[in-house]
Structure 1
Amino acid sequence: MRTNRDRLVMISVQGTVSNPEHTGRHSVSHDGEPFMVPGTGGITYNVRVGDSAFGWEVDHVEPGVSTLLDQKDRNSPQNRGYHFYACVGNEAKVVTGDAKGAKGVVTGHHGGAEHILIDFSEDVLDKLTLDDKFLIKGFGQGLKLLDYPDVHVYNLDPNLLEKMNVVEKNGELHVPVVAVVPPFLMGSGIGSTTMGTGDYDIMTADYDALKEYGLTGLRFGDLVYIQDHDNSYGRCYRKGAASIGVIIHSDCKLAGHGPGVTILMTCAKGILKPIISQDANIAKILKIGRFEEK
């Protein structure tokens, strides 16, 4: 597949661990039940990319290390820049502390929290502190598929794209994904125009619908195909469109929420097609998280 990767710039951005936050009060689930459980932020030791996105006693939990630039002002231009330049598949390096020099991989953007998620091996996670800093080689924004100008690519390292086994056939791109998500299940984040940052959620209040469409086994890092959703210039329903994304945070108890999806590819026309494969997970593709090479 021809791309413009030779014209892309690689730019450094640097962040730190985002301290976990909590109100200390109960929230109310989509079933009307009060809950008070862990959520976003911090260093998550026992939840990693490749693990199930369901079944944890959490809400919006993020695998690995949750990072940002400025905890006091998540919407500052500098924090937005950190969020924008870091792409899924980028190399991240620890530049402070006992784990200095260790390398990890960016696995997703989480909107609202404005976090960049990074996977490191277990021995590195044990050495990290909340004061550590991470240098990311931001590479991927501006990526184009030269023979498919109607396909928009966001947040995707070209090296990861080349490993995704996309098949070109009759003017279409057939992309390996774990599952097809029907358009009516997409919720929180619809309407956002910040395509180079953030995510949006697969709603999970209707468990029967999840079972019907084979979504109850989703894992962090799974690539999914969102039917009839166009993310070209904002997140919206458009008949015949399609988007490819990666699962980046866990199921959620709040109405309108569920596993988060960072968008990697999208097209308003019927060019993107799904190939169902249980191996379509970035942890497997990049040999990180639960599938890292020992």
Structure 2
Amino acid sequence: MLKTNKERLVMQSVQGKIHSPLASNPYRVNRDGIAEVLPATGGITYNVQIGDSCMKWVGDHVEPGVSIKNDNTGENGALMLLSCIGNEAKVVSGEAKGAKGYVTGMHGGIDHVLIYFKEEDMEKMAIGDSILVKAHGQGLGLEDHSDVKCMNIDPSLFDKLGIKENEEGMLEVPVVTEIPAYLMGSGIGSPTAFSGDYDIMTGDEEANKEFGIDQLRFGDLVLLRDCDNTNGRQYLKGSVSVGIVVHSDCVKAGHGPGITVIMSSKVSKIKGIKTENANIAYYLGVK
């Protein structure tokens, strides 16, 4: 197991409420210029969960499970920044009070934190119920690999990934596929990768098949080639990042499955190992 600084990481509470879907404009203009009316972000998405395909849904930026937000802008910024994939989440109000789940991603733009709960718990939930997250993971570092930056992942989940150092000193990380930098779209240029996500563009069907994008699932680990996320999001030849699929495919140009990054290096220090079950649903034991 890799040596980390997890024993020195701070765990704090952050909190939000289940956020209703919004529809000030009923239409979403797709990449062919056609207006569509579709379900999208927010709310309790009962029939979409981590481990499911993120490509088949008749929707746009669909978020699996439960989507939460804080009405206070500053507090929501902390919710987005400090929450990490794999953090424990607990319902603290409403009929489902006491139910526990896991953070599965942070969706930038709409600024939602996404959470997995069991189906029977979601049936008891309502818009406006409060959910507390035990935020733990930002600042995670690898003691013997200072050239690799970690972010957005609970240290307990990180340990479960089974990342190994090979004889060449590279970190071998389980992933389902590798994505070239030229397919990364919405979110490029953001000043930090420690909050939110950015999208794989899916307008080219041949590329979707070539790189296995058409087979992606919510919660899949993917390697991003020549993508530097150590600070902001940019193209950098030789850099490598690893992220997790957090929201569904999209109809808009420049958009697609959202990726929250969990590791990044400006040099080719990370090697992807193709692994069929490289999905957080498997590592969290919920599928």
| Shorter-normalised TM range | over 0.9
Q: Which amino acid in the other structure matches residue 276 of structure 1?
A: K
Q: Does 1:114 align with 2:111?
A: yes
2:182 is matched with which residue? 184
2:124 is matched with which residue? 127
2:256 is matched with which residue? 258
1:168 is matched with which residue? 165
Q: How much does 1:22 deviate? A: 1.2
Q: How much does 1:33 deviate? A: 2.1
SS at match of 1:15: strand
Q: How much does 1:272 deviate? A: 0.5
Counterpart CA distance in 2 for 1:114 and 1:159 is 24
Q: Which amino acid in the other structure matches residue 232 of structure 1?
A: T
Q: How much does 1:129 deviate? A: 0.7
Counterpart CA distance in 1 for 2:29 and 2:128 is 32
1:229 to 227, 230, 233: 227
**Structure 1 ranges of 4+ moved more than 6 A:** none
Q: Does 1:4 align with 2:5?
A: yes
2:272 to 266, 271, 274: 274
Counterpart CA distance in 2 for 1:150 and 1:143 is 13
Counterpart CA distance in 2 for 1:102 and 1:81 is 23
Conserved 8 A contact 1:22-1:39: no
Counterpart CA distance in 2 for 1:23 and 1:205 is 26
* 1:17-38: CA deviation from partner (whole Å, max 9, x where unpaired): 1110013432221122221101
Structure 1 stretches lacking a partner, 5+ long: none
SS at match of 2:127: coil
Counterpart CA distance in 1 for 2:123 and 2:26 is 29
Counterpart CA distance in 1 for 2:132 and 2:26 is 35
Q: How much does 1:256 deviate? A: 0.2
Conserved 8 A contact 1:193-1:233: yes
Counterpart CA distance in 2 for 1:150 and 1:107 is 26
* 1:90-147: CA deviation from partner (whole Å, max 9, x where unpaired): 0000111111111000000000010000000000000001121111110000000010
Q: For 1:7-46, what aligned pairs fall within 5 Å after superposition? A: 7-46=8-47
1:205 is matched with which residue? 203
Conserved 8 A contact 1:231-1:266: yes
2:285 to 278, 284, 287: 287
Q: Which amino acid in the other structure matches residue 202 of structure 2?
A: T
| TM-score after normalising by structure 2 | 0.98
SS at match of 1:162: helix
1:155 is matched with which residue? 152
Which has the higher mean CA deviation after the structures are superposed, 34-43 or 24-33?
Answer: 24-33
Counterpart CA distance in 2 for 1:201 and 1:234 is 14
1:92 is matched with which residue? 89
Q: How much does 1:270 deviate? A: 0.8
2:63 is matched with which residue? 62
Q: Which amino acid in the other structure matches residue 212 of structure 2?
A: G
Counterpart CA distance in 2 for 1:254 and 1:235 is 20
Counterpart CA distance in 2 for 1:17 and 1:82 is 13
SS at match of 2:215: coil
Conserved 8 A contact 2:19-2:128: no
Conserved 8 A contact 1:24-1:36: no
Counterpart CA distance in 1 for 2:17 and 2:40 is 18
Counterpart CA distance in 2 for 1:78 and 1:235 is 24
Structure 2 stretches lacking a partner, 5+ long: none
**Identity rate of aligned residues, in percent?**
51
Counterpart CA distance in 2 for 1:14 and 1:233 is 25
* 1:237-290: CA deviation from partner (whole Å, max 9, x where unpaired): 1111010000000000000000000000000011000000111000011122xx
Q: Which amino acid in the other structure matches residue 44 of structure 2?
A: I
